[in-house]
Amino acid sequence: MIGSVRKIIYDKGDLTIPEVLYLCTMGGAKCLNLDNKIGSFEIGKDFDALILEKSNDTVEIYEWDTWDEILTKLVLEGSIQNIKKVYVNGEEAKLD
């Protein structure tokens, strides 16, 4: 999988945050031939997810921000304090 992701990065050049998110979710699932089980929020797939919130002053989100801008801010400026809940295989995991 690492070789496949590395090849995409080198062939593509600079990646956008939405592209990186895709590679970390559905792209990774496709590389592992598990895209029928994981990688997206579809009925019948395993539910693994982080629920994020703006809980500190490190991420400034405005009402006029686009989805891509919000996602970029969370990825580049967010921290562990922004994680509200974690789900693994549909079950809420305990946060320490």
User: Where in the sequence is the domain holding 58, given as residue range(s)?
Assistant: 47-96
Please say whether the dihedral angle defined by the alpha carbons of residues 69, 26, 44 and 84, taken in this order, is positive or negative. Answer: negative
Pair (52, 94) in one structural domain: yes
pLDDT, tens digit (0-9, with 9 covering 90-100), for 18-59 = 787 888 889 989 999 999 998 888 999 998 888 887 766 778
In this structure, the answer to whether residues 59 and 21 fall within a common structural domain is no
54 and 90 both lie in a single domain: yes
pLDDT grade, residue 7 (50/70/90)? low
> 55 and 11 in one domain?
no
C-alpha closest to that of 5 among 41, 17, 75, 19 = 19
My answer on whether 52 and 96 are in the same domain is yes
This prediction has a pTM of: 0.64
